[in-house]
A = this chain, B = another copy of it.
Amino acid sequence: MTTPLLAIGRGPLDLERVAGALSADPSTRPGQDGAVVTFLGLVRNHNVGRRVRHLEYEAYEPLALKAFERIAAEIAERWPSARLALHHRIGRLEIGEASVAIAARSPHRGDAFAACRYAIERVKQIAPIWKHEYFEGGDVWIEGATADPDDARARAEAERVACA
């Protein structure tokens, strides 16, 4: 069974599987790439002074997948030689577990680093996914960015952070 490049699901994430999906994809021609950069987002035991016990992630799944596709398309436009794989986990996550796994490949390392960083920044900006934090003393929905995929300023900020 082939692993999809873009996915959202409840099972534990496997970085090798995400990177492997990319290397096995027909878009990866053998020998063309000199760099693979991966990012793994982990659940921390602390957040703005609170002791975190666990997280619950929720998503609007069909729209989240479309957001991932959009991010991959933006990367193909901005870094034509780079390709992306991105898996996000939802449901209950314990401290230290991975919530998101991203891999980017490219002939040159600069593009792979930039594409990987850009991807996680854009996930945080436009993917319809929410984090419910259970901490010592209570729980809270984390609310970050108002999702607007057409916001050119947000996209430019993600490019800036990616050091593009």
- Interface of A toward B, CB cutoff 8 Å: 15-16, 19, 30-46, 52, 95-96, 107, 109-110, 112-113, 116-117, 120, 161, 163
Q: A34-B44, A36-B39, A37-B37 are in contact. List 16 more A-B contacts (CB 8 A).
A: A15-B16, A15-B19, A19-B40, A30-B45, A30-B96, A31-B52, A31-B96, A35-B41, A36-B38, A37-B116, A38-B38, A39-B112, A44-B107, A109-B120, A113-B113, A113-B116
Interface majority SS (helix, strand, loop, mixed), chain A? mixed
Contact yes or no, A113 B109, CB < 8 A: no
Residues of B within 8 A of A41 (CB): 34-35, 109
Q: Bound state CA distance, A120 and B30, in angstroms?
A: 23
B16 touches A44 (CB 8 A): no
Min Cβ gap A134→B in Å is 14
> Are A40 and B44 closer than 8 Å at their CB atoms?
no
| Chain B neighbourhood of A19, CB < 8 A | 15, 40
